[in-house]
């Protein structure tokens, strides 16, 4: 659901998947920590309107924890492979 929403939803749709007090850190983009849904929506807003494709590459879960690697391609050119925990 997360990957589909990142590809096809709005920034607010993606932020709604997070807990109200969630944090999102972009270690590559300056290490900024985005706290709360409003800040997380702001992080994703820069991608709104772009052609986005996502692909799950690897998933691991144990107990109540999970981590996954996915590919995100923006505008048919830039591809990154973040790790989500």
Query: Residue 15's closest CA among 7, 26, 6?
Result: 6
Catalytic hit among 2, 12, 13, 18: 2
**Is there a catalytic annotation at residue 26?**
yes
Distance (Å, whole) CA 67 – CA 2: 13
Catalytic hit among 4, 8, 26, 32: 26
Kindly state the helix (H) or strand (E) to which residue 39 belongs, with its residue range. Answer: helix 37-45
Contact 52, 7 (CB under 8 A): yes
Residues marked as catalytic = 2, 26
């Amino acid at each position: 659901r997360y990957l589909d929403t990142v590809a096809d939803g709005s920034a607010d749709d993606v932020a709604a998947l997070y807990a109200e007090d969630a944090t999102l850190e972009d270690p590559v983009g300056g290490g900024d920590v985005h706290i709360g849904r409003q800040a997380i929506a702001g992080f994703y807003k820069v991608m709104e309107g772009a052609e986005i494709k996502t692909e799950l590459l690897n998933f691991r879960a144990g107990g109540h924890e999970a981590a996954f690697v996915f590919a995100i391609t923006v505008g048919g050119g830039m591809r990154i492979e973040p790790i989500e925990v």
